[in-house]
Structure 1
Amino acid sequence: MPFLSRVHRKTAAHDALFSQSSILAGVPRMALWQNNGKKPHEKGHTMAQNYWGDELPSRVDLPPAADPARPGYGRIDFDKLPNTRDLGGMVGAGGRRVKHGLLLRSGTLGFGSPTDIDRLRDDYDLRLVVDFRNLIELSELPDPMDLIAGARYLHAEIFSDSQVGVTQEHEKTAFEYKLEAMAQGDPVEFMTLLYPHMLIDETGINGYRSFVRAVLDVEEGAALWHCYVGRDRCGMGSALIETMLGVSRDDILADYLATNLYAPIDLTLDSPASICYFEAIERALEPHGGFKGYLTGTLGITEDEIAAFRERCLED
């Protein structure tokens, strides 16, 4: 399907790459999210296949072999949540590892089966759900918070439909430039231009600040954050949490790229997680001091808060 065919209104440029609110190739997105009934690839993936046995083009970046302490990049074997993963097992500051069952990244919970939601509530003692989606996405598929008693729900919108640049004039220029990139059939260029806005625009700063502070406030039980697929907005949120824990840059990148193994190929093939997107974020954050400087400077997280977070979430 032509990449530009999904753009049907001004805000659809966001929907096409982030919320995927359109119908793809005539197939309802729920069917796509459930991998069309596919079983996991029994022989495991190769560099040319994802976890579900789908053939991937050579342009799709895949992570290196997973750490034995975090097999499958932390993927949890849920029925209908293919890209829900536990950060547990990642190597953090001082060689200590992230505890299992405390920090979960995911796609939207609205696709979860009743058993999936029960497991999150009971097995993981879920206490916080952070939703990075925009209001359009929320209205289409809300999280089943009524089934997760005791969990706080935080809507932390990262990429609003009304804000692309710093000013309305800049917004128009940026939007038209990105549409031109899309019209030329270059979704990589589009995403490279769009990615940094997640973290440096006002909406993104406020959203990620609220997210990080909410995670820091969790004293027991698990915190989970998600966007739609569990790739872009969720991926950058995960990078911030992993940075606070002292995870290496290479491991953060590998965790980000692992989405290409698990998210439904029909929802990600036009714009899979990419090294160039990650590097675009890094370049945008250079004036902020990188991910760490962004946390302490832009978001206002203190070193004492980071130390306390590591004490809670890391173990020998």
Structure 2
Amino acid sequence: MCDITGSEPNTSHFGKYLSEGCDSGFGHKLALRLHALGCDVFAGCLFPDGEGAISLSKYQSERLKVVKLDVTKDEDVFAAVNYVTNNLRNNSLWALVNNAGVVHYAATEFGENGIGVFDETMRVNALGTVRVTKAFLPLLRKEKGSRAIFLSSIAGRVEFPTLTAYSMSKFAVNAFCNSLRREMKRFHVYVSIIEPTVYKTAMGDKKIILEDFRRIWEKTSDEVKEDYGHDGYRKNHDYVEALMDTRISNCDDVVDAIVEAIRRKEPRCVYRVGSFVVRATIEASTYFAEEFSDIVYSHHISMITLKLIAFVHRVLRI
């Protein structure tokens, strides 16, 4: 969570912004960018004693405050609301940025019996988003023209193999955002979705992702392991690795989109950010019949497509 206070373009007053998930990645970069722009930032961090939170605290600025926030816990969210409310100027919030998230790459049957991966992913990405947003809406509604901004994903429009839980959570986020935008229209509260492709953030660290994939496989039952075999494990592993190779190094365009959604007088409903090659491929596939999409996203075709995208990215140095 990160709450930010900065001047709204073409107005004489200051707005306030709140953004979650500022320990690392987009949220961390956003907090620093907004602080540099002269905004008051409340940066929500899961680990207030962690490296990311400490680096933000080192600024020792009245305009940059770190707030402990676990989006899965009501008590953390309510405490954050109280803290932000007591430290806001003019008692109003200009923008809420929902950025906290987790991702696990694994086939649906991989992992322990039960729905552990699905449960964690939905609790953080989907229900955590709802929990934080609902808690801060009363503050947002006090400020005409305020906005709630949500970090979604290209996986919220297209279902990728090995990303089932993550795609489910981001489809849920998109549905929540679209419904909320229509509900908030009467209060003049804008709702925007930021939809990036794959980036080299802490959550998209290739080494960490592949190690997590291996850990999940190790916890898989012997029966499932036997049915999938080493070939099934290898194909899924290679697919995840190929997907990681399409990542973009520079995160600035995502942060730029969030900042625009915060500062623009009338922000867009959706900001699609990232590799044009990936976005064009995904956009085209959304018009396919499901049967054709199944062919396009089959292992063999997907691997060819991902390797081609990775090659183009290397050539373009993005």
Give the TM-score taking structure 1 as reference length.
0.30
Higher relative contact order (CA 8 A, sep 6+): 1
Higher share of residues assigned strand: 2
Give the TM-score taking structure 2 as reference length.
0.30
